[in-house]
Every structure is written in C-alpha cells, then in structure tokens.
Structure 1
Amino acid sequence: MAGTSRLFRLEEHDYPRLHDLLSPFLPESITILGWFEQHRDAPPVPPIWASFSVAEPAPPLLALFVLGTEIAGYQSRLFCSAEASPGQPTPEQETFVASFVEASLRAAFDYIAETSPAGALIRESGLMIGSIHEKWHDCLRALPYAGSHSPCRKVVLPPSAARAFAEGASDARLPPGARVTQLQNGDLETVMRYNKIARTTAYVKSRMEQSVCIRAPGPDGEEVPVAWTVVHADSSIGQLHVIDISKTGRNCYDLR
C-alpha cells in the first residue's frame, strides 16, 4: 500500500497551473478551487499543500489541503483525485489519504504556530477539516484524536445544473411584499441565534457581501429577514435557514 511522506507548499506562481489541473475534477475539486477563486483578487491565498510538485506531470492519485483563514477558525479543506471516480475507495487510496492528511495537519500546525499568537491554543484544541468526501470517513476516523462533528449532506451540482437553477430563479415567485436582498449588520443577532453550526460573528459578518436574504413584512409592517444563506470562504453555499414563522406569530409565507 502506498502512502505519502512529502508535501509541496504551493507558491503564487503555481496557481494558474493548479486551476488548469483541478478544473477537470469539478465539481468535487471546488473544495480547493473555491478558496482560490475567493482570494485570487484579494491575496494572499491561504496556504495550500499538495502531494506532488505542480511543476511536474500530475500523478493519477493526488491530493491537496488548504488551511482556512483565521477568521474562519482555520477550518480547512481536502481534495483527492479519487473523489471524482465512482465506487468505494481502495485500501491504497485510503492509506494515501490518511497519510497525506496527517502530514498536512503537521504542516498546518507549524504554519499557525509561526504566524499566529493562537498557535499553541489551536494545536491543543485541534483543527477542523470540513466538507470531507464520504469516501474518506472510515480511514480518517481511524486516525489518532480524530472525531466527527456536525455531519451534514453536501449537494454538489455540476456547472450546467447550477446555471439552469440560477436562471430559473425569479423574484416574481416570492410572496407579495417579499424581496431578495443581502444580509446586513442589523441581521447579525438573528443569524447567529439560528446558526446550527457555530461560527463567529466576525466570520458571518465577513460573508455578508456574498449573501442572499429574503425579507418580508413583519407583524409591525417593518421588513424582517425570513430566509438567508451565504457563500462560504471556499465558495460553497451554507448556513441556509428559513425561519419557522408559524412559531413567531408572523404572517405565513410560502418561500419555496
């Protein structure tokens, strides 16, 4: 069985090559490309480590790890090329991914220790890798100190389906008086109260520019947020919430 013992830290000049390399693996590779796209116009891009040198021909089995930003709680992402293939992972693939993740976590902890005053605290509390493909649940769960938190189902749409979905959306389908806006500072308390997965206020505030919020008239006639979602720092869509207005005494709206 094959493992990986060497990591390659990507440099800024590697990013165009990375984009070309991972694009054929979309939508699964969005876990890495999403970070790149979010930060390409506002560098620096968070640290990315690869199991191979992007200056050389890519091997059939490869993996990449991106360390999340401090404001995102360093929540990180993983991608392996085997995710784009159907079926269960082979023992070789599981060993490869487990070894790569262990090496990546060591590199990430070292990076945080060198760049952040919270380095020692993060090493003690651990790092979270989000949006992990289900293929790797068993092999990663077997790693020392590993744990599973807040499992959720991820819906991955190919670009063609995503475009069709967006083109079919229309404000005209909303109830009378409702409109699509973005989240605002005044919405933070409401959003934080309904969050199922803990996020800092600073992080949620940082994502408001890339958010969608449906507002509707409340009991006193003023607009209130009744549904919202944000684009996360890895370009995934999350924190989707629709208020159960049957429990709030507000007018009932069909927001489907």
Structure 2
Amino acid sequence: MQDSDINQEGSAPADLARSNEERYFITALARGLEVLACFRAADKSLSNQQIAERCGLPKSTVTRFTYTLTRLGYLLQVEAGGKFTLGTATLALGSSMLARLDIRQMARPMMQELADFSGTTVSIAVRDRLSMIYVEVCRSTAALSLSLQVGSRMPLAASAIGRAYLVKAGEQERKEILSRSQELDELAYTAMRDALAKGLKDYEQFGCATSFGEWQKDVNGIAVGFYPIGGSQLMSINCGGPASSVSQQFLLDEARPRLLEIAKRLES
C-alpha cells in the first residue's frame, strides 16, 4: 500500500465529517448574524463602514445586510442614509432568552446580599464566542461599584468571569474556543491558552478564577463557573470592583467563601 493511500484512508472519515457539516452551513445567514452580534452595549449606533470593519466584510455586502435587517426590524436606521442601531426584533429575541434563565430569579437575592456585604458588583454571565455577556447584575450602593449592566461584555481571556468559564468548560468546548482564538491571530490564541492555564492554577489554589488588574489595571475580581439547577448551559458568577476599594486580599479572604457558597447553591 502506498503512503498516499494510507494518508487518504486516515483522513477520509474526518474530511467526510467536515464535508457533511459544511453542507448545512449557510454563509449568508452566518454573516447576517455577525452583523447583529457586532453591536456592543456602549454603541449608540454604527455606520455601514464601522460594521464592515468589525465583521471583516466588504462595505457593499454589509449595506445589503443592513438594508435587509432593517426591513425585518432587527436594525433601525437612526439617520437617513446614516447609522443603525439594534431594532425591537432583537429585543424580542433577547427577552425570550432571558425569560428562560429562571436561575436569575433564584440567584438575585443571594447576589445582592454579597454585593451589599462586599461593596462590589456581582454578576452572572454566559459565553458568546470569545466574550462573556452579563445576564444578571447586582450592585452595592457604594459609589465606586462598577457600572456594568445586563448585556455588557467581558473578554473571555482577561476577565475572572471568562477564566472561570474556561476552567469549567468541557474539553470539546475548550478546543473550539482555542480554535476560534487561533483564527484571529497567534496573540489571541496565546492569550486564551495562558488564560486557561492561569484559571486552572487559580482553581487549584483558591477554588475560583482571579483577575487582579489584568482586565483593567484598576479592577479586581474573582469568579466561579457553574451549571445551574435543571440547566445544561454553563454560566459564571463573579464578584469585583475598583482596586482602590476592593483589595485582592479582601476578595480572597472575605468574598470568596460567600461566592463559592452561592455557586454551590445555584448548582445543587
């Protein structure tokens, strides 16, 4: 048997599986969803050029997508021939998703209690590609608590809430996340790989993930990943605040036991 035959035999099942999967992938739909996903909580509106730059698509292609999405109510044109913002149709989708997350109602009193005790912001987030999106946020009344809200995004690699997710995720999901990172560039892949290693080390030492001045130099945070009662979607819960009022030692000594207890109660 020739080497070429051996290689062909060895690679055929994997190639066939990828081929079968790709048959069901609709590129136009994927790009349309990428257009919607490129909007961030801080964005008041985006132009076709800005969307094109974020999605890595030609402006002419984006123009057709934004026209279609506007007609369907997923985008709203706020200036004639100008910029776009998310429309009410996306609100309906988001509301339906949040309504299914019953865990938020169960978690909110415990989160608020921890926020008030520690003078921090306590949040729950789920993963969206290489980001974490907040689905519930409780703040203390402290003037220096973080001004994050439902819908805010956090980087998966640099944040405690993202690292906690990486640690708790299954092997297949980790591979998919690392693969997505590598598609961006080598720096993103290295950062994600290092974030996983840091998270695993933190979990071994503290039972949680940490980020002390790594997401933002003046912000400290800790987080735990958990699978909510009756649910299969992995989530993370964090506790953090400005480094000037929430020290690393306070989070580890005082807030960490309470955060771990909340995650345990939400999971069991």
TM-score band, normalised by shorter chain: under 0.3
Greater helix fraction, Structure 1 or Structure 2: 2
Which structure exhibits the higher relative contact order, with contacts defined as CA atoms closer than 8 Å and separated by 6 or more residues? 1
**TM-score normalised according to structure 1 size:** 0.22
